Amino acid sequence: MQDTLAHRIQQLNPLALAHVGDSVFDLYVRSALVLEGDKTAHALHKAAVALVNAAAQAQAARRMLPLLTEEEAAIFRRGRNAGGTHVPIHASGEDYHLATGLEAVCGYLYLSHQMERLEALLGQAVLFVHDQPKEALL
């Protein structure tokens, strides 16, 4: 049964994986910010917007590529190359495609119930965006 689910998830359109991964990434960042301490709703929103955008996700993706497994790297490439034509106004095409690749990996890991791996990668992504030294999370 699990093999069938994994196969079905691998066959999903990479933009569908990115659709789920976008929400997963956003929820992880927002949760981490809330758990950091008492902040106003406005401060939480500003911090989340700084981390959940194409440029920040692309920065994280560039640094995370060497950490991905072969399977994750294949999902990343499919997401990056998925050819979505709509690029947000405040993002370059390159950043948008790299961010989509990262989101596809997040969506894939979430849907395939690889939560420990997902949390390790998301934690690493936030560290990379904050430009902190790499911790031994993986």
List of residues 6+ apart from 82 with CB closer than 8 A: 13, 14, 15, 18, 97, 100, 104
By the 10 Å C-beta count (0-12 exposed, 13-18 middle, 19+ buried), 12 is classed as middle
Nearest to 84 by CA among 95, 73, 70, 71: 95
Please pick, among 3, 22, 38, 131, the residue that the annotation labels catalytic.
22
Q: How many CB atoms lie within 10 A of CB 109?
A: 26
Contact 83, 68 (CB under 8 A): no
Please say if 22 is a catalytic residue.
yes
Distance CA 5, CA 46 (A): 37
Active site residues: 22
